[in-house]
Amino acid sequence: MSDLDFIKDGELRKTLEDSFEYVLALYKLTKDPKQSEIFRNETYRVIIIYVVSFIEAVLLYRYREGGVKFKSYEYKYIQSLVDEYKHIQKPNSQVVIAVQESVEKKDHQIGLNDLVILFKKNKILTADNILDINEIRNTLHFNKPRTKNFDLNMVNKALQLIIVILGQFSNE
């Protein structure tokens, strides 16, 4: 997949290529009229999971290469103040004092939402549907009710996002 040539990490590129090949194989299986509706629906779910994970991996790679870092705050040396100090809105809560330190977020703390917002803000990314597809992915947990069926149209939109994103990054 020459559109992934911008990814210099050979292992990641191979994983993405293999995953995309798997998605295409699944996609072809859903076209078989002998497959049941439940098979197609569940396969569409798997494809969407893979597509969002693919996009997330590409964005995280570009983020790492870009030099921009996400920050978060850690609070250290936390000390409780005496009970006489009360917060007006939370009078039953303990008031503390601490040192606030800005730290770089680790990769596992960075979500797809963070990456999309960063790339859109910096006008690097124009694909608007990524977070919508991610919302679909977030509903795929087995303990959540299956209130929505997935269809070929949803899968096609998700696959189109890969093409758009790869087109944006491979042309830089």
Answer yes or no: is pLDDT of 1 > 60. no
Q: How many CB atoms lie within 10 A of CB 153?
A: 9
Specify the pLDDT at position 81. 92
Cβ atoms of residues 73 and 57 within 8 Å: no
H helix runs in the chain, sequence order: 10-30, 37-66, 112-121, 130-138, 152-170
Please report the domains of the chain, with CATH numbers, ordered by start residue.
2-68+107-170 (1.20.120), 71-104 (no CATH)
The pTM assigned to this predicted structure is 0.77
Question: What are 102-158's pLDDT values in tens digits?
Answer: 998 888 888 888 888 887 777 777 666 777 777 766 666 677 666 667 788 888 888
- Reading the block at residue 8, the tokens are 């210099």
Q: How many CB atoms lie within 10 A of CB 63?
A: 19
First to last CA, the chain: 17
Question: What are 82-110's pLDDT values in tens digits?
Answer: 988 889 999 999 999 999 999 988 888 88
